[in-house]
Structure formats: structure tokens, C-alpha cells
Amino acid sequence: MTKKKIRVLLADDHALVRQGFRLILSSQPDIEIVGEAGNGRETVELAEKLRPDVVVMDVAMPEMNGIEATRRLAALAPRTRVLALSMYKDSVYVREILRAGARGYLLKDAIDRDLVAAVRAVAAGEGYLSPAVSEAVLSDYRRHVSDPLDLLTPREREVLQLIAEGKTNKEIAAALNLSVYTVDAHRGRIMEKLNVHSVSELVRFAVRAGLVN
């Protein structure tokens, strides 16, 4: 009887990076690539449709970042497990995506052999952290149990990311199919909840929270 393959969806906004991951993972007899996505929104849609075992998820992607996409997947495709990928050892990125529901965090410079091991571990329901980040992350994760981002609704987090990406109210309204008035109301509530008083403060908050580069 042949063993069921681990079905993997690759999510990264760089086609070359996805191609590299595909080469590494496809060479393994127990792993199959079922799809690729270039941003968080596309990742959520594809994962809902394809129901992969593992999503290899870049943390920093346009339109919807990997943290928000992971949060959505936890609700929409709970059987799919997320392995986060990032260039950053910074504990804020790690903390945010683990809080969102990721099972593993791998540094991009540690790819090759580690990527295969991480995908297998996460598929088996285990956690996986790059050795370079694990100790700092664990102590940081234990220290931070509450987070201002938790005050925001999913829609407010989406609006916050687009504000931080430099989009105008009009552009955000078009992207999210809302009225400009509604976007403005969201912006006001976000600033109130986070206790910030200018767009530049909002942007700094979003960068610290790992929502944008």
C-alpha cells in the first residue's frame, strides 16, 4: 500500500523563491506540490479549495500578509497546517504568526534540508522552529500573552495593513469593496483602539506588528 503524500501549497510573492521551494520539495517521494500563491488573499482562496496538508507561508506578502492569511486559514481550513517562512529572526514576526496559528517558523537562509524536515514535522502535527530563533522566540512568546492587535477585528486588521502600505481611503475602499465613508470609520476606530494619533504612528505600529516590511 502506498503511503499518502503530504500535499503542500506554496505561498510567496516571489516566483523564483516558489520555484526553489518546489524543486526542493518535489524531489521528495512523500511530498507533492498542489498549488502556488503570490499573496495572502490568493493563499486563503486556494487553501480553501485545495485543502492542502501544509501551507509553506511567507510572512511578508502584499495585499494580505502571511500573518493575517494564517489567521483566516485557522478558521476556514483548520486541518491545514501552516509553516511560516521569513528572513527575519525578529521575535515580533515569529510571535505574531505563532499567535495566528502557524505550527512552525523557518528562516529563509536555512532552507534546503531544514525545509523538508519542517514540512514533514508540521504535517505530522508537530511544531518546528529554526534553531537560530527557537530560544529567543520561546522566552519572548512566554512573556507576551496579550497583544493590541487582538483588539482589532479581521476587517480592521485588513484596513490597517493597506493604510500601512500607503494606500489612500479611496484605494482601500476599492480593494475591499467598501465605501470611502466606511473605510474612514474603520481608520478612526483603529486609531482609537490602538491609541495612536497619526497615520505615521499607525504605520510604525503596523511595521512593529510585522504586518508590513
Q: How far is CA 157 from CA 5, 43, 57, 161, in A?
A: 35, 17, 18, 6
**Tell me: the pLDDT tens digits for 31-62?**
999 999 999 999 999 999 999 999 999 998 98
Mean pLDDT of 133-156: 70
Q: What per-residue string of b and e applies to 195-212 under the rule 16 or more CB within 10 Å gives b?
A: ebeeeeebbebbeebbbb
Q: Which CATH class is domain 6-143?
A: alpha beta
Q: Per the confidence metrics, is the pTM higher than 0.75?
A: no
Domain boundaries, the chain: 6-143, 148-208
pLDDT at residue 136 above 70? Answer: no
* Topology of the domain covering 148-208: Arc Repressor Mutant, subunit A (1.10.10)
Q: What per-residue string of b and e applies to 171-192 under the rule 16 or more CB within 10 Å gives b?
A: ebbebbebeeebbeebbebbbe
DSSP letter assigned to residue 28 = S
For residue 74, count other CB atoms closer than 10 A to its CB: 15
- 6-143 against 148-208: fold identical: no
**Tell me: the pLDDT tens digits for 171-213?**
999 999 999 999 999 999 898 888 888 888 899 888 888 887 7
